[in-house]
Chains A and B, each alone.
Chain A
Amino acid sequence: MPYAVCPYCRGVIRWSSAGAESVGQAAELPFDVSPIQIGTGGALDGARFSVVGRVRWAWADGGWNEWLLAMADGTHRWLAEAMGQFQILEECPQADTAPELAGFAAGGELPLGTLVTLNGLYFVVSDSKIITCVGAEGDLPFATPAGWKMHSVDFREGEGRSLSVQRDEGGMAAYLGRYVELADLNPTNLRAIEGWDIPEALRGSVRAGGRA
């Protein structure tokens, strides 16, 4: 990953052949009760993964986490965690084959209810809002300066698939995915939360320590 957030000074560091370079400051992560932490492991579509980074986003009426999963095969996925529900998302490079999304990338609007066909699936715009990056940690594919703002549009689909499109001055990125249950990921090394026991189904084979 080209970027990392220093856990001690919150500095955003870019790794390159020339070494490490400080490119800014990430905001302090606000406290939340997420069961995920850097070092949480699991399995997805038959491949192991490890959580290596997180970006926390907020908007006027809430906040959510996007956890970066480093897959055993060297690829990456995102685990989005909002309102107690989880989605696995993967960047979708051919998103601008859909004319509505290409229009959005070019600065157009995506009103609520807009229908978008992508990969043979029908998605409907269910939410559109301005979001702000309120913190980051670990290794990340992009820099996460404090106060970074994006226009985010969420879609729903009949069978539990999901699509999320985000746009800023630098362009548009689309993430395609599906809702999952935490237990389906066979998680290990979940975060301990005071006053709660990790349910049997989520205990997995706990690896001592993980990356912590």
Chain B
Amino acid sequence: MVNASSAKPRSVTCPQCGGGIDIRAAGVTISVGCQYCGALLDVANPDVALITAWHQEVAKLKLPLGSRGVIDGVTWEVIGWVERSAQGWTWAEYLLFNPYAGYRWLVRSGDEWQFGRMLTERPRELLNAGQVDWRGQAFTAEEGPVTITTTRVLGEFYWRVRAGEEWQAVSFSAGPQSLSREADGDEVQWTHLVPVAPQVIERFVKPVNFNASSPRHANPSAPPPQRGYSSDTSSTWANRPWRADGDHWRMFAFAVLTSLLAMIVLALAGIKGNEAVGRTQLVVDGPEVQFSAGTITVTRPRQFVTIRAATDTFVNKWVDLDYVLVNKATQQGVPASDVVEYYEGTDSDGHWTEGSHQTTTLIAEVPAGNYELMVQAQAHAWNGGGSSTTSSDTPADPWGLASAGGASAGTGEQVSLAVSASTGGFPWGLFWLVVGGVFVIPIIIILYRANNKDDE
């Protein structure tokens, strides 16, 4: 039959940031919160539509989307995450999926985890008020109904999820088990919850290629590497007689001219304008800090925005930086991320250092408008090194898994961070790409000719 072959995940492109999103539960999933920019998308129809742009930074999840783990003998994949709150208390719920076993929930409240299963039957309300019966067991209500608000969402869902949706919830318990009754108007959903040992959660495996700090493959803000400042010259050369004599000088003159032109164009696009600076202190392996670096104005229709981050001189640490340039009029966000890292140590070849204490991110083609730069930063210690360690063959904890309860937690060590945003900036990477592009053709032609002369 047509559909009998192996099924692959469907893939869509986020209309906001261009990130590639795999739909893990194709045919069932309705809403997707983009894991790169947080935009909430409607994938029920073939044309993926933006529901709302989430201009906050994408949350750093304990279980990143795509993580897999085994609970009760079944492998589950984390496909969605919702942050919910009630009465000032905030917790996270992860939606799990297995195409053969359906959906489950993992509810994280502080360090405690519960595994939830949606019921297809309704527990019976007992005459004794505040009690329900489910499969022969009595559950007692813990407290009156509370209003639960969904505050943030990421990942994919089989219903039309939205931030701000509210449910009336009552929890019933019987020993460690509980039943949660959530109602939204006429719709009532019961969920049975059992505790899960933290070790089960620790054994979840994060997805391959996962790198929370830099989803660069989906980053729209990197300068477009191939956008053709040099295409004019190559078409000119294509029209040239291939073996004209004495044209090397012209070839090089063209290359030099093109490079100069590229420099002028890029410099004009990058004339320096206004600047905003924000500063903060980060506790190493401490919580993520979110702050605004201030507001800048992009005056020309399309302009570069340069974001610089600098820290004091730490050793064997890194700072994850996530930026969102939020247009104050439209609330649309342009995300970017970067990292400041500096390591040193001694190995068989002697002393080595890697990284620096500053970094620059260039965002291309920012439309005119007022922008606020939101920064989320988190400092981490590199456990494989340690500031006094001399041997560091293996980065012991490339994903920073250990840092949650890690060795260096709680030392209170601090890193100072300053982040500045300015309009303008010179895209050196793009410039050198153009220079490389325009010189490589004449060089190849000359080498080719030189070779052929030798043959004759």
Contacts and interface: CB of A to CB of B under 8 A. Distances in A.
A29 interface: yes
A200 B73 CA distance: 9
Interface string A104-137: 0000000011000000000000100000000001
A160 B121 contact: yes
B243 interface: no
A85 B20 CA distance: 28
Contact of B120 (A30, A85, A212): A85
A212 B102 CA distance: 24
A169 interface: no
B22 to A, nearest CB: 10
Interface centre among A39, A193, A200, A202, by most chain B C-beta atoms within 10 angstroms, is: A193
Contacts of B6: 192-194
Given A32-B26, A33-B7, A62-B158, A84 B120 contact: no
A159 B136 CA distance: 12
Given A29-B3, A33-B28, A199 B100 contact: yes
Nearest to A195: B9
Nearest to A161: B121
Interface in A159-212: 159-160, 179, 182, 190-202, 211-212
A61 B44 contact: yes
Given A30-B27, A33-B28, A160-B120, A138 B186 contact: no
Interface in A64-104: 65, 83-85
B158 A84 contact: yes
Contact of A63 (B27, B102, B118): B27
A84 B117 CA distance: 11
Contacts of A211: 1
Nearest to A211: B1
Contacts of B101: 84, 182, 199
Contacts of B7: 31, 33, 191-194
B10 interface: yes
B138 to A, nearest CB: 16
Contacts of B74: 199
Contact of B4 (A39, A61, A112): A39
Sorting the interface of chain B by its residue count into under 10, 10 to 19, 20 to 34 or 35 or more gives 35 or more
Contacts of B124: 158
A37 B3 contact: yes
A202 B100 contact: yes
Contact of A179 (B4, B75, B99, B121): B121
A97 to B, nearest CB: 24
B98 A199 contact: yes
Contacts, number: 119
A159 B119 CA distance: 10
Nearest to B5: A192
B100 A190 contact: yes
Contacts of B10: 31
B28 A84 contact: yes
Contacts of B4: 37-39, 191, 212
Interface in A1-58: 7-8, 29-35, 37-39, 58
B2 A61 contact: no
Contact of A34 (B27, B120, B158, B186): B27
A33 B103 CA distance: 13
Given A84-B158, A126-B187, A200-B73, A33 B1 contact: no
A33 to B, nearest CB: 5
Nearest to A159: B121
A198 B99 CA distance: 9
Contacts of A34: 27, 99
Contacts of B240: none
B121 A33 contact: no
Nearest to B2: A7
Interface in B134-163: 158-160
B25 interface: yes
Nearest to A178: B120
B27 A32 contact: yes
A33 B122 contact: no
A33 B25 contact: yes
A84 to B, nearest CB: 3
B97 interface: yes
A85 to B, nearest CB: 6
B30 interface: yes
A158 B120 CA distance: 9
Contact of B28 (A32, A60, A192, A202): A32
Given A33-B7, A61-B30, A197-B75, A84 B1 contact: no
| List of 10 A-B pairs having minimum Cβ-Cβ separation, nearest first | A32-B27, A84-B102, A160-B121, A179-B120, A212-B4, A112-B186, A84-B103, A38-B1, A7-B2, A193-B7
Interface of A: 7-8, 29-35, 37-39, 58, 60-63, 65, 83-85, 112-113, 126, 137-138, 156-160, 179, 182, 190-202, 211-212
Given A29-B2, A33-B25, A160-B121, 16 more contacts: A7-B1, A30-B46, A31-B26, A33-B24, A37-B3, A61-B159, A112-B186, A157-B122, A179-B120, A182-B101, A193-B7, A194-B8, A196-B99, A197-B75, A199-B101, A202-B100
26 contacts: A29-B2, A31-B7, A31-B26, A32-B28, A33-B7, A33-B9, A33-B26, A33-B27, A37-B1, A60-B44, A63-B27, A84-B101, A85-B120, A126-B187, A156-B122, A157-B121, A157-B122, A158-B121, A159-B121, A191-B4, A193-B6, A193-B7, A194-B8, A196-B75, A199-B101, A200-B73
